[in-house]
A and B are shown apart, each in its own frame.
Chain A
């Protein structure tokens, strides 16, 4: 059991080591990384099943009793995120087989994505706030290198901004946790939650909470801290963009939800109103940015920002249904967003451009790709019966129940604009005829390679449909996860055990 909880961290790490040992065998690396991600998926699903069956699981590293040692915790929210990470890693590995050129593999692409996954899983599973910082750094270091791998000019320009903003965010997070430690003398998340509830001094936690909010907010790309995202996410190869879009900002959202449900609950009314305002601005600026863009991946990058707004909105409303809606939205968004980036990569392979103006005629030549795009794009916009509809339905219902009418109105309005910019992609790249004077590009993508690239796209599109049709079991799990988050006594109890009541 103990091994099961830490294996989502161990498996990518082992895979990375094996890959480093086989550094020269470029073609073998693809398959080993794929096998590693399959094993990860199996293990993380079994972790999720165990967590559903037997509640919150935890393990003390090195048998140092909590709160002195480092705790690894798997509650439902963590387990769901770990399963989603494994799923993303599987699809990205399949997609990378074709998308990543041998030069990038030569410079260690596959070991790097496995280290990245280790960092992401570690961040989801850790129960120690300083350990969370360390996992952030593991994740960031490999993402920095993935961002610049290939050394193209635009990659360098994007990476300077990406690296700087993320380092500032890490410094703020570190400052916040240093002050928190100075005030209450513990780093274990359950112990922090317990101590802060016992002492309940809002003046102490206010500044720390704000530092955490800004640090995680930069990582999650909320308004007004998102400028690094549209400046950098469209620069690396499509599979790297897809992996980043699916995972990295979501780690920021995860940390926000975790810290603002577990420990920063003293000054709740201020922070919840503040979050709702921020969420509204995040949605609006993101979607307006997307509406003004005509580059495929930049449109998608701005949509990441606007979708983050929905997740923060759920956290701000702070009812069980709203938190469940946020978690459901995270799941839905990881699937569809990654898929849209995958599709943009295939389109680039076929037409040699990301500029919507230069694209066209893909519906006639590649009907399957078009169907998968329609599914993902309409799911993102929130049309029934796809996954996005239920995610938004839960959030908006929660908003109406708690009478936050302005944010509900903004969410619906932003959905409409999302549909507008998704239709823009559909109409420009797929529906209209190929602009005749600009199509001198000859695609080098063979039929076999095209099929390999379309497999992960099809998988994720089917998943979006499956979640939409059979949403109830998943929503039940999300509701359970939300009730665990909103009743932190369970979390505290299961980690600290008989520690002073």
Chain B
């Protein structure tokens, strides 16, 4: 399972970087999104995959069973998803305003402040 996920993460990173290197400003946003998702999956995989062992304390016990899935990576991913959701919303508005103000969606033409 880890191997499959590792390939998926690699593919998502590659797709994200490829989309970011395109000239269209919308593809830049899509690329950033893909990279964010790849990172979330990376945390998930690096945190260790344990199937069908919820970290729940059985009635009468004080600690969860010896083998249980670590819930912390999920908590981290959840936080990261919420943050990236907010950032994505901002990014879309920014891109829209930039398009309205500058009049182009070509990143090669957004060079007014470079030199």
Contacts and interface: CB of A to CB of B under 8 A. Distances in A.
B21 to A, nearest CB: 11
Nearest to B29: A164
Interface in B19-71: 20, 25, 28, 32, 35-36, 39, 42-43, 45-48, 70
Contacts of A133: 80
Contact of B113 (A137, A158, A167): A158
A148 B79 contact: no
B107 to A, nearest CB: 8
A174 B43 contact: yes
Given A164-B32, A181-B73, A157 B47 contact: no
A interface, how many residues as a size bin?
35 or more
A210 interface: no
Contact of B94 (A144, A175, A232, A234): A144
B79 to A, nearest CB: 7
A218 to B, nearest CB: 14
Nearest to B76: A130
B46 A160 contact: no
B36 A154 contact: no
B114 to A, nearest CB: 5
B1 to A, nearest CB: 15
Interface string B82-107: 01001100110011011001100001
B113 A182 contact: no
B97 A151 contact: yes
A177 B76 CA distance: 10
B5 interface: no
A179 B101 contact: no
A188 to B, nearest CB: 12
A171 B94 contact: no
Contacts of A153: 101-102, 112
Contacts of A182: 43, 45-48, 73
B110 interface: yes
B25 A160 contact: yes
Contacts of A187: 72
A159 B93 CA distance: 12
Given A148-B97, A167-B32, A160 B110 contact: yes
Given A167-B32, A178-B47, A178-B76, A235 B113 contact: yes
A141 interface: yes
Contact of B39 (A152, A156, A174): A174
A182 B72 CA distance: 10
Given A156-B97, A182-B48, A164 B76 contact: no
Contacts of A141: 86-87, 90
Contact of A171 (B35, B72, B97, B98): B35
15 contacts: A130-B76, A140-B87, A141-B86, A148-B94, A153-B102, A154-B112, A159-B94, A163-B94, A164-B28, A167-B36, A167-B91, A168-B35, A171-B36, A174-B80, A183-B46
Given A137-B83, A151-B101, A178-B43, 5 more contacts: A151-B97, A167-B87, A168-B32, A171-B35, A174-B39
Interface of B: 20, 25, 28, 32, 35-36, 39, 42-43, 45-48, 70, 72-73, 76, 79-80, 83, 86-87, 90-91, 94-95, 97-98, 101-102, 107, 110-114
> What are the 5 closest A-B residue pairs judged by CB atoms, nearest first?
A182-B46, A178-B43, A156-B98, A157-B110, A158-B113
